[in-house]
Amino acid sequence: MTIRILLADDQTLLRTTFRMLIEANPDMDVVGEAADGEQAVALTRTHHPDLVLMDIRMPGTNGLAATTAICADPSLSTTRVLILTTFETDEYVAQALRAGASGFLGKDVSADALLDGIRTVASGDALLSPTATRALITRFLATPDAPPAERLTTLTSREREVMALAAEGRSNTEIAHHLVVSPLTVRTHIQRAMTKLHARDRTQLVVIAYQTGLVRPRSLPLTNKNP
């Protein structure tokens, strides 16, 4: 199945480079290019891509505002946003995650890492770089949301357990080994928790885990990537 991608970056050279890199892969296709956030939203509504590769700093409507508009549109519920930027600050990461972004990578990643990231996010899983993961933890622990009693009561004890392990940065395989169940069972619990909590994807589920205090990090995980 081909991953349909929209590129949103104000630099023409970068868009051309990304297009050449992406379209060299038979499982990917670029369906459009946007030079600012307003164009990104409009073209996303026209083409309904599987993924938008979104820059943050663009003239006019920036990438964060565009991400918010895309993720808030019910007709675009299957479109994922992968933020790719040189500005990997705590505030940008926090805003991007609140906006509904499914992934966040710095522009210094390798070509292979970018392509892997696109595949990961397009599949419905989450992807955060190490810098973004650290920012996620510190930012959301510093700004707690509703207490667990108000947000997690719909979850079973096993769903809360799996959610907590996922928030610690463990993959489905690692969680399955820890709980002595199959990876498919873990994935089912993750999907049910996402549905009950109205989480767009795994990243949003992790955000809720930290916001509610379900998880308090003992150490900083390197990634939040689900194989």
Report long-range pairs for 182-187 (Cβ below 8 Å, ≥24 apart). 186/162
Tokens of 62: 């920036």
Q: Are residues 78 and 150 in the same domain?
A: no
The pTM for the full model equals: 0.69
Considering the domain architecture, whether residues 117 and 180 belong to the same structural domain is answered as no
Partners of 29 in the β-ladder: 4
**With 0-12 CB in 10 A as exposed, 13-18 as middle and 19+ as buried, what is 51?**
buried
Q: What is the phi-psi region of residue 124: left when phi exceeds 0, alpha when psi lies from -120 to 50, beta otherwise?
A: left
Range of the domain at 35: 3-124
CATH code at 207?
Answer: 1.10.10.10
Strands (E), the chain: 3-8, 28-34, 51-54, 80-85, 103-106, 127-128
- Co-location of 45 and 96 in the same domain: yes
| Residue 227 within a domain | no
Do 25 and 110 sit in the same domain of this protein? Answer: yes
The per-residue pLDDT for 227 is: 43
> Does residue 151 share a domain with residue 113?
no
Are 109 and 151 within one domain? no
Report the domain count for the chain.
2
Q: Are residues 207 and 120 in the same domain?
A: no
What pLDDT, on a 0 to 100 scale, did the predictor assign at position 222?
A: 38
Looking at the fold, whether 68 and 163 belong to one and the same domain comes out as no
Could you list the pLDDT tens digit for every one of the 227 residues in the chain?
899 999 999 999 999 999 999 999 999 999 999 999 999 999 999 999 999 999 988 988 999 999 999 998 999 988 999 988 776 555 677 777 778 888 888 788 889 989 988 998 888 766 655 455 555 555 555 555 555 557 889 999 999 999 998 887 777 888 999 999 998 999 999 999 989 998 877 877 877 887 787 877 554 443 444 44
Within a domain: 133: no
* HEC-encoded secondary structure of 151-188: HCCCCCHHHHHHHHHHHCCCCHHHHHHHHCCCHHHHHH
Distance CA 35, CA 12 (A): 8
